[in-house]
Structure 1
Amino acid sequence: MRLHVDQRHERVLELVRERGSLRVAELAEELGMSAVTLRRDVEALAAQGLVERLHGAVVWPTGQSRPAPAAAAAPAEGLVVGMVVPTTEYYYADVVRGARETVEAAGARLTIGLSRYLPDEDAAQARRLLSTGADGLLLTPSWEHGRPEPGEGLWTAEQGTPVVLVERWAPLGHPAASLDRVRSDHAHGAAEAVAHLARLGHRGIALAVQDSPTAPRLRAGYRAAVEALGLDPVPDSPGGGDPARSEADRFGRTLEYLCQGVASGTVTAAIVHSDADAIVLIPRLQARGVRVPEDLAVITYDDEVAGLADLPLTAVSPDKYAVGAAAARLLLSRLGVRGRGAADPRDGGRSSRRHLDILPALRIRVSCGADHPSR
């Protein structure tokens, strides 16, 4: 049976905790995983400080005790976790599922509040959940750029109960910056896409993003990678900006931007956010004589429907389930829940605050022109 990434992580931690250290090859064989998959899992766990990597081995962190894996879990019966998200559709469906399954595995219950991106609805939903018995909150406020504007979001740090921000962050100095946080590292995902295209020989790489809370981090990662790799600078996409413009106008401007870049020879590859945008744009590019991937290699961001396109799309894939699961484990640990479902059975909620960034994966398919697309 194929294990989900969260289940794999749990099993890796269980074995390393029990034995102290294992060679990567031995651990991969025992778990029935490829060495590549295991190394990716170990990197994610090491980034969270849950294991250490040492000369091809996976080691339990120095100075940490190794409790027996069968230790009894503290009961969470009757515990209620409240979760406020903009929507349970599209991106957040898997985030909510990861949180729900983790909470339920611990014997607790998840309740949901939806803001639908309405002004002040986040705080109203949080108050409602607390008034109906929520013991802690997982919050995804409707902050336009994924972070609060000055003076915005102060209420998130004023709750009298544990709070974990999910797919959101607050700048240093903002009261919410001291809250626990779990998010996808979208900047890393964009940088990985740039690096992959550069390895394929591309030097003029465009970024076409729609306005969303994800966009600022995508731009930051893209620009950092272009600079670090010494790639040719490409003018910014006109796709975002004025919200009064129609979707048809946004697509039209993005289409012209990419066609002109290809015609001038300054653009040979593009990163497009999101999959849905790419699925609309690629047939229009082809109708204008731009071949994908021969004239324009394309990588999309999100991987919601990228594999279902006529031309399967290479995509950066944030692990939304893992984000929801990690946030739930972290909140459960703050509430004193130990064992299965808790963030770390070693701390029982006593550790310092945590900011966890979950790295997205790159799914190679046809649209980037790679020689060995994955299935």
Structure 2
Amino acid sequence: MREPVDLRRQRILAVVEARGCARVRDLADELQVSVVTVRRDVEELTREGRVRRGHGVVRSTRPAKEPSTDVPAEADETGVYRVGVVVPARHSYLNETLHGARTVLQEAGARIALHLAPQASGTERPLVERALAEGARGLLLAPRWRARAEEEADQEWLASLGVPTVLMERRPWRASALHALDSVCSDHWYGAHLAVEHLVGLGHRRIVFAARHDSPTARSLRAAFAEVAGAHPLVERWAWTLVAPEAGHDGPYTVQESAGLSALLAELGATAAVLHSDVDALMVVQQLAEDAVRVPGDCSVVAYDDVVAGLGSPPLTAVSPPKTEVGRVAAELLLRRLSEPQESRAVQRVELLPRLIVRGSSDRPGVD
């Protein structure tokens, strides 16, 4: 599914505002779209007065901010503090998190060096090293970590960065080398709890959970759903499967875990599904319609992420993690870390609660 135009333009605006200016060709490479597409987006943003277009470059219309008196004392020789931010490319969920972080850092007078990591494994480390070489005094990171092995491979160098670092939407496992690293995350267990309680409250007793298995969030949700649904006294049967056969990279999977959703719903007699992410959820709902499964008549659907869930037909009920707030809190935590002596720093692992937004894709079993 193509990235929505408004989200892509938000990403262009975020990069330009963070860097001051950017080349059109560089934006096309980072966003993995054509130069023509970026030019069209830049033309629209220029008409809206949000950027200025030059010969092959795009410039921010934001005036340079005077450094705030709250800026940490370790600012560079220009009086401006540099913060490196590394997030995966083409990740609409983290775009909102980035927006929250950017707002806080810009208000503090900090200069943001944004780096978008390609989808290949191991791409974050050279970007982090580049940010540090360019003078970043602190880091906000959201490594892609498709599999636990990738997280293990990153532990040693991440644990020895030597500058204040805050992970966003990444929760290191206990007793790992990164366990003592600051992190700000959504409480995905609570998100799973909201979804199950909503469906059970409508009368659903058999539920399928479908997700990717190539992200930390998907892995957290799988464990959370198993715990919540497995312990709920009113859930008669539940099962987990890949949201699409090609969505998993860790494998191997059982026949049930790689089964098509329609087939698993029929096998389980399930009347509801929780789907992660909501981009995948929109595609699954389309497939269910092709398989003559009505939503919500035959199957109620709750999406997880709420980036574009409300744009579906029907609009999808969704668990909405506090994406922007995660970025805001992470940036505030990083600024505190930069302004206090290292020996006084107590590691923080902050969890923020998602909320449920009820729309047209969930109802009582059998209701058209």
Please report the TM-score for the alignment, with normalisation by the length of structure 2.
Answer: 0.70
**Residues 96 and 349 (structure 1 numbering): CA distance in 2 closer, same or farther, change over 3 Å?**
farther
Distance in structure 2 (CA, Å) of the matches to 1:99 and 1:244: 30
**Residues 146 and 312 (structure 1 numbering): CA distance in 2 closer, same or farther, change over 3 Å?**
farther
Q: RMSD of aligned C-alpha atoms? A: 2.9
1:253-264 matches, within 5 Å, as 257-264=260-267
1:18-97 matches, within 5 Å, as 73-76=69-72, 77-87=79-89, 89-97=91-99
Name which of 296, 299, 304 aligns with 1:301.
304
Counterpart of 1:226 in structure 2 is 229
Counterpart of 1:235 in structure 2 is 239
Contact 1:255–1:284 at 8 Å: present in 2 too? no
Counterpart of 1:51 in structure 2 is none
Distance in structure 1 (CA, Å) of the matches to 2:275 and 2:124: 29
* Superimposed CA distance per residue, residues 185-216 of structure 1 (whole angstroms, 9 cap, x where no aligned partner): 22321221011111111110100112231211
1:361 paired to 2:355: yes
Distance in structure 2 (CA, Å) of the matches to 1:148 and 1:258: 28
1:350 paired to 2:344: yes
Distance in structure 2 (CA, Å) of the matches to 1:236 and 1:109: 43
Structure 2 gap segments, 5+ residues each: 1-67, 73-78, 250-255
Alpha-carbon shift at residue 170 of structure 1 (Å): 1.6
Distance in structure 1 (CA, Å) of the matches to 2:214 and 2:196: 20
Contact 2:188–2:354 at 8 Å: present in 1 too? yes
* Superimposed CA distance per residue, residues 245-267 of structure 1 (whole angstroms, 9 cap, x where no aligned partner): 9xxxxxxx999743334445620
1:331 paired to 2:325: no
1:288 paired to 2:282: no
Distance in structure 2 (CA, Å) of the matches to 1:364 and 1:334: 38
Contact 2:210–2:273 at 8 Å: present in 1 too? yes
Q: One-letter code of the match for 1:235?
A: A
Structure 1 gap segments, 5+ residues each: 1-71, 246-252, 338-346
1:83-162 matches, within 5 Å, as 83-87=85-89, 89-145=91-147, 149-162=151-164
Contact 2:222–2:240 at 8 Å: present in 1 too? no
* Superimposed CA distance per residue, residues 252-309 of structure 1 (whole angstroms, 9 cap, x where no aligned partner): x999743334445620100011222222222332333322112111001111111111
1:159-308 matches, within 5 Å, as 159-213=161-215, 214-230=217-233, 231-239=235-243, 257-264=260-267, 266-308=269-311
Alpha-carbon shift at residue 73 of structure 1 (Å): 5.0
1:169 alignment partner, SS class: coil
**Residues 351 and 171 (structure 1 numbering): CA distance in 2 closer, same or farther, change over 3 Å?**
same
Contact 2:159–2:177 at 8 Å: present in 1 too? yes
Q: One-letter code of the match for 1:144?
A: R
Alpha-carbon shift at residue 144 of structure 1 (Å): 1.6
* Superimposed CA distance per residue, residues 327-365 of structure 1 (whole angstroms, 9 cap, x where no aligned partner): 11101000118xxxxxxxxx9993411001121111110
Contact 2:242–2:258 at 8 Å: present in 1 too? no
Counterpart of 1:15 in structure 2 is none
1:321 paired to 2:342: no
Please report the TM-score for the alignment, with normalisation by the length of structure 1.
Answer: 0.69
The count of residues paired between Structure 1 and Structure 2 equals 285
Q: One-letter code of the match for 2:239?
A: P
Distance in structure 1 (CA, Å) of the matches to 2:230 and 2:258: 25
**Residues 116 and 94 (structure 1 numbering): CA distance in 2 closer, same or farther, change over 3 Å?**
same
Contact 2:96–2:323 at 8 Å: present in 1 too? yes
**Residues 87 and 161 (structure 1 numbering): CA distance in 2 closer, same or farther, change over 3 Å?**
same
Alpha-carbon shift at residue 173 of structure 1 (Å): 2.1
Distance in structure 1 (CA, Å) of the matches to 2:278 and 2:201: 22
1:206 alignment partner, SS class: strand
Percent identity of paired positions between Structure 1 and Structure 2: 36
Distance in structure 1 (CA, Å) of the matches to 2:318 and 2:229: 18
